[in-house]
Amino acid sequence: MPDLPVNPVTPSRVRWFQAIITGFIVAVLAGIGWAFFISKTKIIYGYPSILIGFLVGFCVLFVGKSHLVYKGQQLLYYSIGPASTLVGIATGKLLDFKWRILPQFEGESHPTSVIDSPTLNYDLVFFLAACYFSFRIPSSRMWQSLVTKNDYITDEPDSS
């Protein structure tokens, strides 16, 4: 009988709870940081939101150990990243609205004219890119090779 590794990464070893919790915590913290950046620099472009996608993608990859996931669960597992990223972006936008926009209209009873102000028309492209990266990083064989320390070109298991 061949010797098996002590802790092989199998579909049952995927850490769902840790990946979900870490993804959402990192996304919310990154959203708060993004809103703070906007409030201090007054740069309201959406391209810093891509950083949220990268951070969430790497956290889901490294905390969830996503090397092997059952085929039926792959879409659900890899959607943790985009869902977390959207929560982080929403957190950042809401805090931006609260910290930067609402103080300008303290005296008005209905500041409805500022609803479109915190989001620029092309920010949606950056938000979609952030969601793409948070999906693609955990699902890419190249990035998964960092978790398992295998060469991403071969399908052979690591013999060490």
| pLDDT band at residue 122 under the 50/70/90 scheme | confident
Looking at residue 47, its pLDDT comes to 81
Looking at residue 143, its pLDDT comes to 73
Q: What is the pTM of this model?
A: 0.73
> Greater confidence, 113 or 85?
85
> Greater confidence, 52 or 72?
52
Mean of pLDDT over the chain: 76
pLDDT at 132 over 80: yes
> Greater confidence, 108 or 77?
77
Looking at residue 160, its pLDDT comes to 47
Region of 8 on the Ramachandran plot (φ > 0 left; ψ -120 to 50 alpha; else beta): beta
pLDDT single digits (tens) 11-42: 446 677 888 899 999 999 999 998 998 888 87
pLDDT at 5 over 90: no
Contact 64, 79 (CB under 8 A): no
pLDDT at 7 over 70: no
Give the side-chain half-sphere CA count within 13 A for 63: 21
pLDDT at 8 over 90: no
**What are the backbone dihedrals phi and psi of residue 73, each rounded to the nearest 5 degrees, phi first?**
-105, -5
